[in-house]
Amino acid sequence: MLKRTSAVLTASLAVSFGAATPAFAQAFYLQEQSVRGAGRVFSGEVADTGSQSLWWNPAAIGGATDGSAALGASGIIPHGKVVNTGTVIVRPGQAPAPVTGEDAKNPITKGLLPSGSIAYPLTDRVSVGLAVTSPFSFTTDYDANSWTRYSADKTALRTIDIQPSIGVAATDWLRVGVALNVENSKATLSNALPNLSPLLPDGSQKLKGSGWDLGWSAGLQLHNAVGSLGIAYKSSIRHKLKGDLEVAGLLGPLATSNLTLNDVTATFRTPNQVIVGGRFKATDQLTLNAQYVHFGWSKFDAIRLGAPVNQALPENYRNSWSLAGGLDYAVSPDLTLRAGVQRATTPTRNGERDARVPDSNRWNVGVGGSLNVTPAFTIDAAANYVDFANAAIERPTAAFVGTPAQTVILTSGELRNARALVLSLGGAVRF
């Protein structure tokens, strides 16, 4: 009984806490933390100033002379297909059989991603600030009869990152900053479990979990009359989620694995980030921006499960990067227009990508602008178009691992025609 229960838990928690879907920076990371930044596709945030750049660099508020605050939201409208190209299921003692079910059209649900920040100078050199963001969040909803149902049915992850920060102007040209990242994570998951006979309906499992965890950020900026250079580091965060698991609908010999368990735990790490960027004032009106981000996704190497499973489930992500270039053009003292382009690589590997994370390399292009309605109030707006490359989904999965009932799903699918439109609107005040 314990062995069978552990096998069910292994399958359940692997899906629940490792599940993700294409976001708009990399894997399940979202970069839409500033409407101003979205207009130039996040090409100069680490080297810019004010509270809107806090997520990328706490040094951004060092030496501020006025208080600043910003509030924004990004509406994410994704499109794409997850197509079955020959997935089969291998039940014990039976020949491989096709996994039937509908192809998934637009399985990633539309969403609204908010963000906010505030900063205030304590002295002419020292400022404190706070950014509230949601950097790792997504929702997917596959149909109940989708061919992906054994690895991905309905999944949601929500994180809230609260980042208190302090920035200091050490000299007229050097700013430094540090921050604490306090993250709350909540995950909800459901997916199907195959019964031993193909004539029987599928069972199901559902898991919910949550937790609070800590990380940190640090950075510096170099400024002169014609430009600025920023360098920042955001730590990996070790997440520990505790939740409840329900398994139901298993029949025959598997019926003893139907259960409800409380206080099941799993731990995993999100990636660290090294961010380098600059802003160059080419003319009185035109500023050029560039930014490179190295993501330490190799930190997400495994999901480590607590009792009664006590196993490590390999994820084997690889490090990845993004590179962006953009511009700000001051049409007038009250109107600034922006544009940019970004290239980002996926941390998922060929041969190991699954329907839970049908991620791929992508291009992101965007436009935006800021309008000073009054000397103290600015409206920001941006639009981004993200184009994902087609990618194979071919990672095998298994249920009831290590028992006579072990059932293997040999996945063969493809992410096709994936794209997303992101519309952002926000406001900023100075005080």
CATH number at residue 207: 2.40.160.60
Measured distance CA(38)–CA(72) in Å, rounded: 11
- pTM (2 d.p.): 0.92
- Alpha-carbon distance values, 59 to 39, 174, 274 (Å): 22, 9, 14
**Residue 83 falls in which region: left (phi positive, over 0), alpha (psi -120 to 50) or beta:** beta
Site of tokens 């921006």: 289
Range of the domain at 145: 2-426
In a domain, 150, yes or no: yes
In a domain, 431, yes or no: no
**In whole angstroms, what separates CA 24 from the centre of its chain?**
8
Residue-level pLDDT at 14: 39
In a domain, 266, yes or no: yes
Residue-level pLDDT at 91: 97
Q: Give me the number of domains the chain comprises.
A: 1
Helices first, then strands: H and E counts in the chain:
2, 25
In a domain, 393, yes or no: yes
Q: How do strand 154-169 and strand 138-141 relate by DSSP bridges?
A: antiparallel
In a domain, 134, yes or no: yes
In a domain, 299, yes or no: yes
- For residue 145, with 0-12 CB atoms within 10 Å meaning exposed, 13-18 middle and 19 or more buried, which class applies? exposed
Residue-level pLDDT at 6: 46
- Return the structure tokens found at 84: 């079955």
Residues in the chain, total = 431
Residue-level pLDDT at 20: 38
pLDDT digits (tens, 9 = 90+) for 225-252: 999 999 999 999 999 999 888 999 999 9
In a domain, 131, yes or no: yes
Enumerate residue ranges in the chain where pLDDT < 50: 1-23
Residue-level pLDDT at 334: 97
In a domain, 313, yes or no: yes
- Return the structure tokens found at 217: 């950020």
